[in-house]
Structure 1
Amino acid sequence: MNEHELRRAVAAVKNGRLSRRDFVQQMLAVGLTAPLAGMMLAQSGVAMAATQAFPYKPTKAGGGGPLKLLFWQAPTLLNPHFAIGIKDQEAARAFYEPLAGWDAEGNLVPVLATEIPSVANGTLAADGTSVVWKLKPGVRWHDGEPFTADDVIFNWQYATHPETSAVTIGDYKDIKAIDRIDDHTVRLVFAQPTPLWFTPFVGGRGTIIPKHLFGAYIGAKSREAPNNLKPVGTGAYLFVDFKPGDTVTARLNPDYHVPNRPHFDTLEIKGGGDAVSAARAVLQTGEFDYAWNLQVEDEILAKLESGGQGVVEIVPTGNLEFILLNATDPNIEVDGERASLKTRHPLFSDPAVREAVNLLIDRASIQKFIYGRGGIATPNCINNPERYRSPNMRFEFNVEKANQILETAGWKKGASGLREKDGKPLKLVFQTSTNGPRQKNQAIIKQAFQKAGIEVELKSIVASVFFSSDTANPDTAAHFYCDMEMYQMTMSSPEPQSFMSQYVSWEAASKANKWQGRNIARWQNEEYDDLYKALTRELDPVKRAALYIRLNDVVCAGRHVLPELNRPRISGIRKGLQTHSSGWDNDLWQLPNWYREA
């Protein structure tokens, strides 16, 4: 679609000859994301959709009995600002809500807001320097206190306070000020023109906690707040009990701000076990209603589906299973900190080693023999939306080529077959979470490494520990006290700007930020940082797409981040359960609208 055709399409929407939805579909067909299509309309004076109706048949709140969710990676805390692992973010979403969320097509849907801002309704500056959010009146926190503009302002202050060490800081740091217009209206003023004005307070990372309960715990005391484990939100369910690493229980909120919701009387989020047992409990036995994040071999899922109690739901996403190569030395302690930014990794500081490791990952076989529908082999960090997918990257599995690269770089094999250089043997510790497919994935990689003269010690850590935000536990993914690690990173918006912030140098995880920084590999690259800064200022959709591709290529070429699989969202759903799933938001983003058909 050329510029003339684009303008004609926008004009058709303004004249009523083309619906906004059809316009967005046309833009998706030519590779433009739904949010940016909406932004183009807004900049042309066309209002964005204010509401979205989801199918919902119940005519009253309650009556649905218990809703039982199985999260085999058990949540360990319930404060969304500290949720490193997705399982913690999901559990927090059962109680806390954002101003808006993302539907399956990448459209914004109001939650605690009355409408989506736009130029047409006077709430969005055309240059992205400010946005006004109108808050839904009559919303109350679970303890009866009113939800107001003060809560929105507080969450910005809380997340950006350096001593709070919130994982959400990157979503709020570009806000220069928030003006309180009245009890139910706020204006966000950005430090510079901001293309992604819809990042703060939106989606899974944008849920809002109450000022009156967390105000005394902003900054250094943030981890001491009792409500980190006892959420008081605005959501459809009231907190009952939480056993970290085990179970969250809740009951229907009779004062929920949406009529006739929720359908279920009680909610249970059960943690523990493994992904296979979780799949069995929904697909085969029907003991649970929903099984989250089914990292199970596709062959097993197909067999369990034949049990007839549930079905596998596959939702496209931008989620990435990847391997990180530590840029720092995990075995040397500097000022009381291992993997310090003041050190360099003794092996991966050699680009030849990183290049060889990349060639020794058999992505195609890992997809074929382990993940099937649940993982698509990829060389890219950004895989969806397609407009942002780089055509420049390729993956290759080549043991012979890896051996040649190492040999040329001076890594020689000894009598045992192990390579070494300057007295340093090629020995690595490779960790991930305890999970069947991931252990098989590790085994395939180890076998290839051995053929290249690299010795690998495999380490698996129970998921509730590996994805924990425990600052004292050295086995968390964020501490990264080993040479290599593997996990999945979720892309929580159809715009991957926040997703790509996990590679900027100022997000490096460290003791100083309580290991809350998103750059866990500690990889630092000045070119990448400059490109990312340019992205945050760029408003033109075409130029943004080009910047995304360049960012992808720089980080992938650095070989400290090795993309492996694009992971669609795989869930188990008991037959009759309606969930309105989206690949761009939490699994539980529409929990108030879940219901069971008879």
Structure 2
Amino acid sequence: MKLKTALLGAAASLALAPMALADAHEGERGRDGEVKIIYWQAPSILNPYLSGGTKELEAASLIIEPLARYDTDGNLVAWLAEEVPTVANGGVSEDLKTITWKLKPGLVWSDGTPLTSEDVKFSWEYCTAEGGGCAQGEKYLDVVSVDTPDELTAVVNFSVAKPFPYGPFVGAQAPIIQKAQFADCMGPKAPECTDENFGPIGTGPFVVTDFRTNDVFTAVANENYREAGKPAFASVTFKGGGDAAAAGRAVHETGEYDYAWNLQLAPDVLAGMAEAGLGQNVAAFGTSVERILLNQTNVDPALGDQRGVIGNPHPFLTDKSVRQAMSMAIDRALLTEIGYGEFGRLTCNVLPAPAIFASDANDSCLVQDIEGAKGVLEAAGWTDTDGDGFRDKDGIKLSVLYQTSTNAVRQDYQALIKQWWEEIGVETELRNIDASVFFGSDPGSPDTFQKFFADVEMFTNNFDGTDPEAYMAGWTCDQAPQPSNQWQGNNMPRFCSEEYDALRAEMAVTGDINERARLAKAMNDILMQEYIILPLTHRGRNSAHAVSLGGVALNVWDSELWNIADWYRIPG
């Protein structure tokens, strides 16, 4: 059977390598006191189903966990499950329409109650509840039911054959939450459950003791954690806010913190900090791409509840010529050199890796062409009729509000791109928003990256694991954030294409790895060649930790904090 063979050869080959963890430094649980982590983007919630922000996903991963996750090499490894199901071991059905997960026996929540298959089933029900808004909805596409034949068995049933059935309950984006805690938080009630969202009961190595949104949270070692002697640290202080430079100094120069995430700083700045000798930089390349999104909807406040909703098209960014010209005007090589140096690579794709999925059909974006961009606008009838230096047509002026999070590198990018866009006749207003708010989860805030109440926005995103099916599904029509889904979903540009949706559906039932690559590239190419997303830089993940912190294994395929249970203090 072709699909069965493909699952065994392509998907499962990424899934079964044994997990290689750092030295656990055996001893008593909590023996090493406090570990202090700083994320200059502060988490606003600890429920990853209600936020697409990396800061929320990674903060929550200290507390709640999936059935399986990805290791530092992108291999799928069992976590709360006994093993990764495959056709070969009987965990995936011959027709590829079911996957059966077996929980490890004896697992308990941090409150001492048993983790059962009902919790697994509930996690799917919670994310797909009618009237709710689940930021990770694409993880559960094609799931029609979850059966629980016994307390340790969860059977996921798909509506189609799924050659890659490892979306539901896999990775930091799709963890298991406790049914008993969240049962009254379904659908529209989900964002109202403050206590639950700020302090989820979990199976992870730590238990929340205090959470202050967009600021700091503290946690203590989970006394019911399944591995003896872990975690080594008795408590965690997870500080958020500030900026990347301050976070870097807090590890490298003052030693106030043990771990600093996402040091989005110029390479010479990072190197200079490391000279103090208290910390070391760690970096790896995964799938992170700094990108610009071009809004396809009208965000005029006068539209009220219909602001930013599909059906109200943007007054000029729906013109492909405008989008194309804006892309052509950008010098990606200069941006990458200034912003990231060796921690950045050039790309013309939103899907830059793994290599088999990376398209070579869009490489023209690597060369800036200001004059060509002007020509494209001229040919489309955009001219400067009033002599103010900016183009207009039919009474509509090319004027954009360009937003991103507050960060020195991003503000450098904004300044250069504003210069280039205004050179071709596009008026550009810059706006930067505190990262804790921009990547926050508040459906009532007008300033989140998912609500996208601007013409243009810029940020970095990536995906769990090495298979891009769920990631590419994020730009289907039904993934557009809107009032009916609490402004959740990953299709922030509100792009909608029947052709794109059809490719997503085809990939969902395609097993051959080369065909999956063809479909992924085709979806990437639609987004690139329609200029819905303008990729800028393929970013390496770079963080820093104290030289006294052992067990750190930087992971670009899952939560960066995936193995915090194995961290320990190096004596001396």
Query: Are 2:478 and 1:515 equivalent residues in the alignment?
Result: no
Q: State the Cα distance separating 1:59 from its structure 2 match.
A: 3.0
Partner of 1:151: 119
* Aligned mate of 2:270, from 301, 306, 314: 301
Q: State the Cα distance separating 1:341 from its structure 2 match.
A: 1.1
- Residue 240 of structure 1: SS of its match in structure 2? strand
Matched residue type, 2:459: Y
Query: Are 2:90 and 1:122 equivalent residues in the alignment?
Result: yes
Q: State the Cα distance separating 1:302 from its structure 2 match.
A: 1.2
Kept after mapping to 1: 8 A contact 2:75/2:465: no
* Aligned mate of 1:272, from 233, 237, 241: 241
Partner of 1:543: 515
* Aligned mate of 2:414, from 424, 436, 442: 442
Matched residue type, 2:247: A
Q: State the Cα distance separating 1:233 from its structure 2 match.
A: 0.7
Report the CA distance shift for 1:187/1:366 in structure 2 as closer, same or farther (over 3 A). same
Q: State the Cα distance separating 1:265 from its structure 2 match.
A: 1.1
Matched residue type, 2:373: A
Kept after mapping to 2: 8 A contact 1:49/1:116: no
Instruction: Work out the CA distance in 2 between the residues paired with 1:269 and 1:92.
Output: 11
Partner of 1:580: 553
Matching of residues 368-379 of structure 1 within 5 Å:
368-379=337-348
Q: State the Cα distance separating 1:50 from its structure 2 match.
A: 6.5
- Residue 52 of structure 2: SS of its match in structure 1? coil
Report the CA distance shift for 1:55/1:124 in structure 2 as closer, same or farther (over 3 A). farther
Query: Are 2:227 and 1:258 equivalent residues in the alignment?
Result: yes
Q: State the Cα distance separating 1:172 from its structure 2 match.
A: 1.5
Q: State the Cα distance separating 1:49 from its structure 2 match.
A: 4.9
Deviates more, 1:169-178 or 1:185-194: 169-178
- Residue 512 of structure 1: SS of its match in structure 2? helix
Query: Are 2:118 and 1:113 equivalent residues in the alignment?
Result: no
Report the CA distance shift for 1:52/1:40 in structure 2 as closer, same or farther (over 3 A). closer
Kept after mapping to 2: 8 A contact 1:333/1:339: no
Query: Are 2:567 and 1:594 equivalent residues in the alignment?
Result: yes
Report the CA distance shift for 1:40/1:279 in structure 2 as closer, same or farther (over 3 A). closer
Partner of 1:170: 138
Partner of 2:380: 409
Query: Are 2:392 and 1:423 equivalent residues in the alignment?
Result: no
Q: State the Cα distance separating 1:164 from its structure 2 match.
A: 2.4
Partner of 2:309: 340
Matching of residues 133-532 of structure 1 within 5 Å:
133-225=101-193, 226-331=195-300, 333-334=302-303, 336-394=305-363, 395=365, 396-413=367-384, 414-532=386-504
Q: State the Cα distance separating 1:463 from its structure 2 match.
A: 0.7
Partner of 1:65: 33
Instruction: Work out the CA distance in 2 between the residues paired with 1:458 and 1:329.
Output: 18
1:389-427 CA deviation, whole Å, 9 max, x = no partner? Answer: 001111121111111111222111242322111121211
- Residue 565 of structure 1: SS of its match in structure 2? strand
Report the CA distance shift for 1:75/1:187 in structure 2 as closer, same or farther (over 3 A). same
Matched residue type, 1:507: Q
Instruction: Work out the CA distance in 2 between the residues paired with 1:144 and 1:286.
Output: 36
1:536-573 CA deviation, whole Å, 9 max, x = no partner? Answer: 11111111111111111111101121111112211111
Kept after mapping to 2: 8 A contact 1:35/1:495: no
1:244-268 CA deviation, whole Å, 9 max, x = no partner? Answer: 1111101111221012210111101
RMSD: 1.8
- Residue 475 of structure 1: SS of its match in structure 2? coil
Instruction: Work out the CA distance in 1 between the residues paired with 2:349 and 2:140.
Output: 27
Instruction: Work out the CA distance in 1 between the residues paired with 2:178 and 2:111.
Output: 10
Deviates more, 1:111-120 or 1:582-591: 111-120
Instruction: Work out the CA distance in 1 between the residues paired with 2:9 and 2:402.
Output: 39
Q: State the Cα distance separating 1:350 from its structure 2 match.
A: 1.6
- Residue 158 of structure 1: SS of its match in structure 2? helix
Instruction: Work out the CA distance in 2 between the residues paired with 1:182 and 1:362.
Output: 58
Instruction: Work out the CA distance in 2 between the residues paired with 1:269 and 1:201.
Output: 25
* Aligned mate of 2:526, from 554, 573, 578: 554
* Aligned mate of 1:570, from 516, 529, 542: 542
1:442-498 CA deviation, whole Å, 9 max, x = no partner? Answer: 000011112112211000011111111111111111111111000111221210111
Kept after mapping to 1: 8 A contact 2:476/2:496: yes
Structure 1 unaligned blocks of 5 or more: 1-9, 11-31, 43-47
TM-score w.r.t. the length of structure 2 is 0.95
Q: State the Cα distance separating 1:196 from its structure 2 match.
A: 2.1
Structure 2 unaligned blocks of 5 or more: none
* Aligned mate of 2:56, from 77, 88, 97: 88
Matched residue type, 1:580: A
Matched residue type, 1:117: P
TM-score w.r.t. the length of structure 1 is 0.91
Q: State the Cα distance separating 1:368 from its structure 2 match.
A: 0.7
Kept after mapping to 2: 8 A contact 1:117/1:133: yes
Instruction: Work out the CA distance in 1 between the residues paired with 2:337 and 2:481.
Output: 34
Instruction: Work out the CA distance in 2 between the residues paired with 1:168 and 1:349.
Output: 27
- Residue 463 of structure 2: SS of its match in structure 1? coil
Matched residue type, 1:87: K
1:190-224 CA deviation, whole Å, 9 max, x = no partner? Answer: 11111221111111112111000111221221122
Instruction: Work out the CA distance in 2 between the residues paired with 1:35 and 1:309.
Output: 46
Quick one: percent identity of the two aligned structures?
38
Q: State the Cα distance separating 1:155 from its structure 2 match.
A: 0.6
Instruction: Work out the CA distance in 2 between the residues paired with 1:51 and 1:273.
Output: 35
Matched residue type, 1:500: M
Instruction: Work out the CA distance in 2 between the residues paired with 1:379 and 1:52.
Output: 33
Q: State the Cα distance separating 1:533 from its structure 2 match.
A: 0.8
Kept after mapping to 2: 8 A contact 1:580/1:594: no
- Residue 59 of structure 1: SS of its match in structure 2? coil
Kept after mapping to 1: 8 A contact 2:28/2:229: yes
